[in-house]
A and B are shown apart, each in its own frame.
Chain A
Amino acid sequence: MSDTDVQRRQFLKTSVGAAAVAIAPGMLLFDMAHGKSEPVSSKVRWGMLIDTAKCATGCDDCVQACNKENGLSGGLSPTDSQWMRRVDLRDMRNGRELSLPMMCQHCAEPPCADVCPTGASFKRADGIVLVDKHICIGCRYCMMACPYKARSFVHEPLHDQKPDVPRGKGTVESCTMCVHRVDKGQQPACAEACPNKSILFGNLNDPESEISKKIRTVASTQIRADLGLNTGIRYQGI
């Protein structure tokens, strides 16, 4: 083989390698940025398990993260939206104290969707309960139907909303389980922000997922389980 041939081979090898290195991260980024092209399916049911024993009293990192992610004011004015709140509980008989985050429980049988006159409140196939604000007329029936007081009404005109979280006056809104992040394969902002990892996010329908394994082994509670709503948010240690 002549010297030129060897050089040519070497050149081709290096250029193919360089091209692969240059293109691969771009392809990855493209996939990540564009999300899924398939509709969500009921093979997945997103849920959370919140370990109240790990939830530190006085900490509201999850609430702050929620406000930041979704562009909420955090209660500057009395009518501002609240998607997530910290609840402090105290047992009057023995003085036991407990904190936990409270938000939309993403019920399997959501009463908000039942009462919605326009079909704006709905449950996505993967169990996330949402408001289609294009259809919402702001009647607030869903706010009355929700046993968890999870929903807020937008009273005032809003400005500078997040590109991923459109919000507007005259519609009802609530925790979306950070659906824009979940669709990109990320965790909800609150689960990511918790310093004690007390919020475990995952697929309740997959028996091999971390959350399903934990729910099989520890005692977990649904709040107002008596209503038979089969909530997606479960609590541990209450």
Chain B
Amino acid sequence: MSNFCKSGCDGALRRYAMLTSSPTCKVCLGRCASRVLHWPSRHVTAERQFAGARAVSQSRTRCFARRVLATTRLADFFRASQKYIAAFAVLLVLIPAQAATESYGMPKLDIGKGGHCVADPQWMRVNHMKVLFQQRDETVRLGIRDGKYSLKNCVECHASLRDNSVIGRADSFCEGCHRYEAVRIDCFECHSSKRSSALAQQESK
């Protein structure tokens, strides 16, 4: 992640930032308004973070547009045909706007049975650890066992149909993203990573 432009610029600029091993982008010089939103504070609520992530993807495209306009300055005769350039820029803006949230080099996962998740998948990517922590305490301390953000339920739906597990392979539902983000996952040192219905079947055999 270190070779991302912190101002929220696009891929070509990422490469540039990487070459100069500078933490900020040399082209937009960190003037991009998205900077604050790109690294949200730890303490803002989950909902606000989600809104922030959306704003980042929008401002990322704004920054991209600025770069396109900046490059045109190199060739003066383009000024005459600014209308066309603007149309081209709009096209360029639209393409990454769609791609920014979904396929930003994200790992391909084996989502098991899948189906309708308990919440919006993008929201879950950002907030699953918070809701799991919350429910974990309610279950252990208060004995509330029907909450919708249950780790057991995650595993039940999303364990791979091949090995009934959410960890162990590069495309496993939990491990896939956690490897990509280099975040250690220690839930499954204690909790079962296997689909419980499959375990029950094994036992009855």
Contact = CB atoms under 8 A, between A and B. Distances in A.
A2 B190 CA distance: 68
Interface in A70-125: 122, 124-125
Interface of B: 136-138, 140-147, 152, 155, 189-192, 194, 196, 199
Interface stretch (A29-37, A145-153, A192-200, A202-210): A29-37
Given A162-B192, A163-B194, A166-B191, A179 B152 contact: no
Interface size class of A (residues with CB under 8 A): 20 to 34
Nearest to B150: A34
B146 A163 contact: no
A38 interface: yes
Contact of B143 (A162, A168, A183): A183
Contacts of A63: none
Given A34-B146, A183-B143, A157 B189 contact: yes
B112 to A, nearest CB: 15
B190 A166 contact: yes
Contact of A34 (B145, B189, B192, B199): B145
B148 to A, nearest CB: 10
A25 interface: no
Max chain A Cβ within 10 angstroms of own Cβ: one of B137, B140, B141, B144: B140
18 contacts: A34-B145, A35-B144, A36-B145, A39-B142, A122-B141, A124-B143, A130-B140, A132-B141, A134-B136, A134-B140, A161-B192, A162-B192, A163-B155, A164-B196, A166-B191, A171-B190, A179-B143, A183-B145
Closest 7 CB pairs of A and B: A168-B190, A35-B145, A39-B142, A40-B143, A163-B196, A34-B146, A166-B190
A206 B27 CA distance: 74
B42 to A, nearest CB: 20
A185 to B, nearest CB: 11
A160 interface: yes
B155 to A, nearest CB: 8
Contacts of A155: none
A76 B200 CA distance: 23
Contact of A39 (B144, B152, B189, B192): B144
Nearest to B147: A37
Given A124-B141, A168-B190, A37 B199 contact: no
A171 B140 CA distance: 15
Contacts of A133: 190
B97 to A, nearest CB: 40
Contacts of A35: 144-146
A224 interface: no
Contacts of A124: 141-143
A171 B145 CA distance: 23
B190 A39 contact: no
A167 interface: yes
A37 B142 contact: no
Given A124-B143, A162-B199, A168-B190, 5 more contacts: A37-B146, A125-B143, A157-B189, A158-B190, A171-B190
Contacts of B140: 130, 132, 134
B186 to A, nearest CB: 9
Nearest to A34: B146
A169 interface: yes
